[in-house]
Every structure is written in C-alpha cells, then in structure tokens.
A and B are shown apart, each in its own frame.
Chain A
C-alpha cells in the first residue's frame, strides 16, 4: 500500500473514530437525559394518580356516608335491629341509593355478614359479605368485587350504621375504570393503563387504557406477571408491533388486605428518544460522510505535499539504480524532506564524479595494462631479434667463414620471430575485430562433443579425464563457430590449470528459457581477486598467453545475449558457467541478430 493511501486511510479512520466516539457519547448522554426526564414524569404521574385515588376515595366515602344517612338506610337499620329481621322489602334499596349517590357498588350487610341489599348483584341478598366480618378500614380502599358479569375492580369505602345493639354496614364504591384513568392529566407521550389483578391466569386483555385499546396486550404479560409475583415496582421497555418502543413502569396497587389487586402501568413513549437518537445518528452519518470527504480532500492535499517530494526521491532513486546518475530532485521546502532532497542531489553528483574518476582510472589502467602487455609481447620477440642481429654482426667480424651458416640460422630465427610478432599483432587485431554472430539452430551437446573430440589426444597426453553430462536436448539460437571457439578457450584454460592431470567436466542443461553450459576443472583454482579481474582484456594469471582468451569468450557470450560467470576455490578447481537465451522466436523466424 502506498504511503499516500496509508495517509488517506489514517485520516479517514481518525475521522470515523472521532465521529463514532462523539456519537456514542452524545447518544449515551441523550439517553440518560431522556431516562431521567422519563423517571421524573412517571413519578409525577404516579403522584397524580395517587392524589386522584385519594380524592376519589374521599368522594366515595362521602357518598357512602350520604347513602347511610338516607331514610332507606335508616329503615334497613331499624329492620336489622329486630330479633327476626325481614329484609325482603329492601331488595331494591341499595340500587336506588346507589343511583342517587352515583355509586357503582353499594351493599348493605348486617353484623352477621348477611347481605340485605345489593346494588351490583341484587340477587345476592342473604349471602355473606366477607368484608362485614373483618376490621374495616377508615379510608377508601381498592377491592375486587364480584358481579354477575364477573369480578371487577373498584374503589370502596365502608360506613357503619348503628341499629340498636347491632350494626348495618354500607359498603359502596365506584368502578376503577377508564373514566377514572381519563380524569388524569397526562403529559404528551405518556399514557396510563390499569391491569385489574383479578383471580385466574394473567389476561392482558383485561387491561384498561385511556385511549384506544392496545392491539397486542400480550406484550405486557411478562411485566404484569413479574409485578404479580414480586409485588414490587418493575419497569420494562416494550417493543410494540407498530415499531414504537415504550418504557412501561408498573406499580402494584394494594387492597385493604395488602394483596396486589391492580397494577398501574405508566407508559412513556420512547418516540422522542428514538427520533432524537435517529437524528443523532443521521447527524453522525452526515458528519462521517462530510468528514470522510474532508479527510480525503485534506489527506490528498497533505499527501501530495508530503509524498510528492518522497515520490520524486523514489523516482530519482530508481533512475539512479537504473544507471542514470543525472537524476535530480527539486527541494520544495526547507524541512527534512528538503534536506533529504539536497542530500540526494549531492549524492548523485558525488556518484557521477566518482564514476567519472573510476572510468578515467580504469581507462588509464587499461592503457597501462595494454602498454605493459604490448611491451611484454613485443619485448619477447625483440630480444631474440636483437641477439640474432648482434650474433650476425659478431660472426661477421669474428668468424666471417662461418658467417654464411650463421646468417642462414639467424635469418631463419629472425623470420621466425618476425612471424611471431606478426602473430601477436594479428591476435590484437582479431580481438578488435570480433565478428558478429550468425545465429542458427545449434544443439549444445553436439557442439560440446565436437570440442572434446578436438582435444581428446591432448587430454590423454595430459592425463585429464573428461566427463560430460548433457540434459539439454533442445536446440539454441547461436553461432556454432563462435561458440565452439569460446568453449575451446575455456577447455584450453582448464587444460592449462591441470598441468598434472585432473578431471574436466562439461555439462549442458536448461533452466527455463536459458541454456546453460558449464566447464569445470579440478585445477589450481583462482582467488576471488583473480575471479574479479578474470575477464579484463590482457589480464592473465598464466605465465604465458595474451590475456585475451577469456575476454574473447566474454565478448562472444555477450554478443549472444548471454552472460558468463565463474565459481572457483583455490586448490579445488574452477567452473565457468555460460548462460544463453534460447531465443526461440528468433529460431522460429529464421532470422539472425
């Protein structure tokens, strides 16, 4: 991944993490604030409910007292005071009084618990009223009342009427129903539900609400069940089918017997919070998007500013590596990158100077070597020439009678040395005029076998054992004469390296599109310094030779598009490795380089 991309990614990541962190913090704070406000509103509503409960309870108590103070109630009391009371004429009394006092429930019972008259269930006369036999609370209380249509929840009050030595109890109440809930002043987004915790299994459909009936009351079943079991306040977040969430706080409402008779459910819509959260998320998304865009923009600018000099440096370095030491970078700034650019430019300038110096030194050294070699090569035939001429002169002066013979011998020697001189001059001339290879299909194994055949007699004479290993059977594109000459030079070198015999190994192989020829000996070997200079023209490690042999080999291999290398260890032998391109397209085209 490029430095620019990394920089861009880093910028984007930084923006995203920052936005996510801010979003999370803001969401958490919003949620805490919402929950706190919700708790406060719920507490206020519950308080309002309790106030309304108390107010209605007082109202019920007053109405029951009023019913107790009626003439009909007095007649009931008088009847109850009789030794054998007849209550048959009071069947409708409770109903009449209940209607007059706007009570949903009203019963009169004597101190034996016998119902004298019942408004909610007139037919219940003569049955037992369980409340008349208990300690009666002085305040209004919650009670589940049995009616012909089922058990209902009501707010009740009891008033005792004296009947001589006996008492008659007026037990009246009003239903705790929707009208009760409707009297509550509900803040926006809140609602109140009442679950009558009557006998039997939990049945959420009994739930009383202030507004429309709840579509899926079963969603509250678990919460109701929990309060039913624990008798403690509980709360839960309800996920309705409509997709809205609601925090529902449930409060048990106890009856006079401390039994949970109803559960007050205060629902607070989480829509505001949901919308707020949605807005926060939208804002976060927008900020993330904008931040990303900004990050891309800024990082691009920054990356361009930061990476452009670095890229220029990298490009320049690549050019230098490719050999272009003239590559220069422009220092745009005075910071570290500017210093780096200056240093680079200085380095390339130093490299150019150093290369020029090196080339100059090498050129001088080559000339010196050439001069030394030429001097050496020319000195060898010149010294016999000088001696021969001096011998002729001395013979002519000292023994003219032998001069003829001496002259013939000397002339022969002179001719020989002159021929030697010519030979030297020819080799130098030949090296300078190395011909271009004429490529054709060549089987390396045949070529190497041909070379071995030439030197077989010499191998035998020098006690050299030769080994061949040909694994390459495919032709290569090469000039067979030049290649034969190169391999012959290497074989001759190997023979020279094994004056006391040894083993010569010739191997051909293939590595992909490269044909490999190896010529190895078990001779004296070369030092690493000798290996480094081995292909320098006119360099030789031998006491004889022009030093052009391996230079010619390298020249031939190079002209074939290949390369030559050497592996050697002093005392163990040397192996030359020629690598040639197969150049099949050239073979197929039948063209030559």
Chain B
C-alpha cells in the first residue's frame, strides 16, 4: 500500500515533470495546477456536518469531502483500501479485522487511532461491537455480514473525531460553517491521499435548481446540481454537464402490505396502468430510465427481466379482479415539482384503468411517490439499502450468488409493497474551467483531483 509520504512525493514529481514538459509552448488548459477556489451551490440544507446526518439528508458528496471511510468501492462495486489498508473476515463472517492506515491525522490534528475509529463506528452502528486492537479494529456483528467492507464504504460510516465539533481525515477541512446556508472548506495539506489541487471550496446551500443555473450562467458558481429532468435542457443550452448512471430509484411505495388478493390485483392494475416511458421521456426529459426492478440494470445486470410495459387493457382486467373501496391516496413531496407531475400522471394513467387515485402532500397516504438514491455500488448492500429505505422486508442473499440476488429482489417485488417506476440520473453543470471533475456511476462527486483551468471566469 502507498503511504501518504510516497503519494505526496509522487504528486510533486508529477507537477515538476509537468512543468518541464509544458514549460515553453504549452497548453495551460490541460496542465493541472494548484490553487483557486471552487464555488458550489447545492439544493439541500444540512444542519449538521456529521456524516450520519449528511447521509440522511441526501448530501453524501459533502461527507466525502470531509470524511474518509475505512474502505471505498470502485466503479464496479469492489472494495478498495482507504483508511483501512487490509481486512479479513473470520469464518462465519461475523468478525472482521481491519488494519488501519498509519500516519493519518484528523483535520483537528489528532492522529487516526484505532480507539477513535472504533468510537466513530460504534456511534454510527450501535448494533456492532467494535474493538480497537493494536493498529487494528475488530468489528463483530450479531449476524453474518459477508458484505461488511461494502457497508463500511457507505458515507454514513465516515470516520469522525471529536464531539460535537466533528473532524475528519478527508481532503478538505472546514474553515467556516453556517448551518444550512454556507460551508467554506480549505484543502487538507496533510491529506493522506495527496493534497487537493484547489485551495478551497465555497458551498452555498438551499439554492433552487433555477437559481443554481442562473448563478452558473452569471459565473458566480463553478458547479451546479442539475436535476434529471433538466440535464437534456442544460446540455441543449450549451452547459458542460456530467451525469451519473440512472441511480436514483423512483417508486410507489405502499404503506401497508396487501390484505387480500383483491388488493394485490388492484396494485397490479395500477402498476400496469402507468406509462413510465412517457413519464421518462416527457416529465423527466429522458433524465432517467424506466424500470420494473429495484436495482438498476447497469448494476445488477438482470434488471431487464423485471421490465414492465404499460398495458391499459390488462390493467383494466386486473382492476375488475381487484376491489377499491375508496380512492388510493398517493402522497408526494410538495417541494418536488417533478414528483408532482409524475404523481399527476400516475393519477391520469390509473383513471384510464378505472382506478381512482387521490393526491396528497401531507405525507400520509396509501402509497407514496418515493425517491431512493442508490445506496451503494455493491449490489447486495444497495438492495439492502433500498429495502430499508422503502421499509420492505430485509432481503436474504443466500450464498451471495447472482441468482440469490435476483431471487432476493424478486421476493421483494412480489411482496406488492412497491411499484418501481424508474431510475433517475443525477447531474452537475460545470463552468468550462473546472477540470478533471468526475462523477461515479452512483452520482458521487470526485473532487480531490479537480483543478481550475485558466479559462475559469
């Protein structure tokens, strides 16, 4: 494993080499260099910088800037070393040993010690027993946990130090924070993975999509979130847009399991009545992918097997077998304009099949239009996270084979507690001067290698 010192030397050598190579007639736009501030606007309004809170409010990207996890997942979902350099499970997968990276310190100056790591993990996972042993920690779970490394890679398991003023080992450190409004970050010069190119980041919270795009157009920010339904338009308008794979599940989640076969037929009728391709093409402006599965096809590989096609005739037939005593109340987030349009379309489609759907924004309904970000690039962890978010029974993966995963997802779908509608992409619009920004398939921002080009406004 590479040490922090080795990486820093490597980075310096890279810079020197680059300077020599491009010293005379060089294209400054392709030459990474340090310095500058990246200004970001975000829609969410986090009230705390604790990784658990950040994960809960849907801003894991902030968490990744400040906190590291013991393990990270690559784009294929495989665990890679981070704060832990090695890990090993004891037979039964209930007890794991993880060796910590040495020489790492928190932004508050404290060294990364096993006791601090154990305390952090215990706080995030009260069911676990986490013991510091020498330069290792031992994680012991109540049940077999073959995917523990993937779970440790979740942003919520970012390692923190200090309470209540938390500090991480991430590439950036907090210089100023106004809860829910603004966050100023400075580069962590001592970052074990190498200092970020940019000196600082300024992040404004609570900005609407339209405000963000306006700020981007006016050159006030360098990076704006782009909602899936606006990705096509942003590109059409000439913005530099990067988007993730379809990674955010949109689904109708029922509050209660079906009580009888008639209710199952009614839910089947509703599922068959929904014209999701039309929703994706028009409402989401192609910013998603229709699906009948809980995991996106690009991740599971079998998602197409659950594909569902709208068939109003079949839906009506199912409807005749079902029984509806009152309108099905569909709850949606009043702040989410897309959700509103999707909900209204569902209502229209359902009406075509003879099902009465009534909309509500008070949060209490027979079903809810729910959006669940892909929790992990690891399939089992992702499916478990989706089930948890939708309050479905916990899936069982058997020996962890692809068939077992398929069976687990099928079982969840056959519970008739959820009607998957589609997976949505996430996107960001960038100023032309933002270089080397990458987005993971699940929408995670890769900020540590970002640098600012000379054409930055």
- Residues of A whose CB lies within 8 Å of any CB of B are 87-89, 91, 121-127, 148
Contact = CB atoms under 8 A, between A and B. Distances in A.
A121 B281 contact: no
Contacts of A121: 344, 348
Contact of A122 (B278, B285, B341, B359): B341
Given A88-B281, A91-B282, A148-B359, A127 B348 contact: yes
16 contacts: A87-B282, A88-B281, A88-B285, A89-B232, A121-B344, A121-B348, A122-B283, A122-B344, A123-B341, A123-B343, A123-B348, A124-B344, A124-B348, A125-B282, A148-B347, A148-B359
B361 to A, nearest CB: 11
A148 B344 contact: yes
Contacts of B285: 88-89, 91
B334 to A, nearest CB: 13
B342 interface: yes
A122 B233 CA distance: 17
Given A148-B344, A148-B347, A123 B283 contact: yes
Contacts of B348: 121, 123-124, 127
Interface in B320-354: 341-345, 347-348
B286 interface: yes
Contacts of B345: 123
Contacts of A124: 344, 348
A148 B285 CA distance: 21
Nearest to B342: A123
Contacts of A122: 283, 341, 344
A478 B347 CA distance: 123
A87 B359 CA distance: 26
A148 B350 CA distance: 13
B68 to A, nearest CB: 41
A355 to B, nearest CB: 113
B344 A126 contact: no
Given A88-B286, A148-B359, A123 B281 contact: no
A123 B347 CA distance: 9
Interface residues of B, number: 16
Nearest to B359: A148
Nearest to A86: B281
A123 B281 CA distance: 12
B211 to A, nearest CB: 17
B283 A91 contact: yes
Interface in B275-292: 278, 281-283, 285-286
A160 B199 CA distance: 58
Contacts of B347: 123, 148
Q: Which secondary structure dominates where chain B touches chain A?
A: helix
A282 B169 CA distance: 93
A89 B281 CA distance: 9
- Please name the 10 residue pairs, one residue from A and one from B, whose CB atoms are nearest each other, closest first: A123-B345, A123-B344, A88-B282, A148-B344, A88-B281, A123-B341, A122-B341, A91-B282, A125-B282, A123-B348
A126 B345 CA distance: 11
A87 B343 CA distance: 20
Contacts of B359: 148
Q: Considering residues A89, A124, A127, which has the most beta carbons from chain B within 10 angstroms of its beta carbon? A: A89
A122 to B, nearest CB: 5
Contacts of A89: 232-233, 285
Contacts of B232: 89
A89 B232 CA distance: 9
B108 to A, nearest CB: 47
Nearest to B280: A88
B234 to A, nearest CB: 13
Contacts of A88: 281-282, 285-286
Contacts of B343: 123
Nearest to A127: B348
A121 B282 CA distance: 13
A121 B286 CA distance: 20
Q: Considering residues A88, A123, A127, which has the most beta carbons from chain B within 10 angstroms of its beta carbon? A: A123
Contacts of A87: 282
A89 B345 CA distance: 16
A448 B341 CA distance: 132
Contacts of A148: 344, 347, 359
A151 B342 CA distance: 19
Nearest to A121: B344
Nearest to B279: A123
Contacts of B344: 121-124, 148
Interface in B286-308: 286
Interface string B353-396: 00000010000000000000000000000000000000000000
A90 B345 CA distance: 16
Contacts of A125: 278, 282
A122 B343 CA distance: 11
Nearest to B349: A123
B350 to A, nearest CB: 12
A87 B345 CA distance: 16
A75 to B, nearest CB: 12
A127 B312 CA distance: 14
A271 B144 CA distance: 83
B166 to A, nearest CB: 41
Contacts of B233: 89
Interface in B228-242: 232-233
A469 B183 CA distance: 143
A122 B337 CA distance: 11
A88 B286 CA distance: 9
A89 B342 CA distance: 16
A126 B283 CA distance: 12
A89 B229 CA distance: 10
Contacts of A123: 283, 341-345, 347-348
A148 B327 CA distance: 14
A148 B233 CA distance: 26
Given A91-B285, A148-B347, A126 B341 contact: no
Q: Considering residues A87, A88, A127, which has the most beta carbons from chain B within 10 angstroms of its beta carbon? A: A88
Given A88-B285, A148-B359, 7 more contacts: A87-B282, A91-B283, A121-B348, A122-B341, A122-B344, A123-B347, A148-B347
A298 B386 CA distance: 103
A121 B345 CA distance: 9
Contacts of B281: 88
A440 B197 CA distance: 159
A126 B312 CA distance: 15
A123 B282 CA distance: 9
A148 B356 CA distance: 12
Contacts of A126: 278, 282
Q: Considering residues B233, B285, B286, B341, which has the most beta carbons from chain A within 10 angstroms of its beta carbon? A: B341
Nearest to B281: A88
A88 B275 CA distance: 14
A114 to B, nearest CB: 12
A90 to B, nearest CB: 9
Contacts of B283: 91, 122-123
A125 B349 CA distance: 11
Nearest to B344: A123
A123 B359 CA distance: 13
A118 to B, nearest CB: 10
Nearest to A125: B282
A332 to B, nearest CB: 97
A245 B264 CA distance: 56
A125 B275 CA distance: 12
A124 B345 CA distance: 7
A89 B282 CA distance: 7
Interface string B261-282: 0000000000000000010011
Contacts of B341: 91, 122-123
A87 B233 CA distance: 14
Nearest to A90: B282
B338 to A, nearest CB: 10
A127 to B, nearest CB: 7
A126 B285 CA distance: 15
Nearest to B345: A123
A28 B343 CA distance: 62
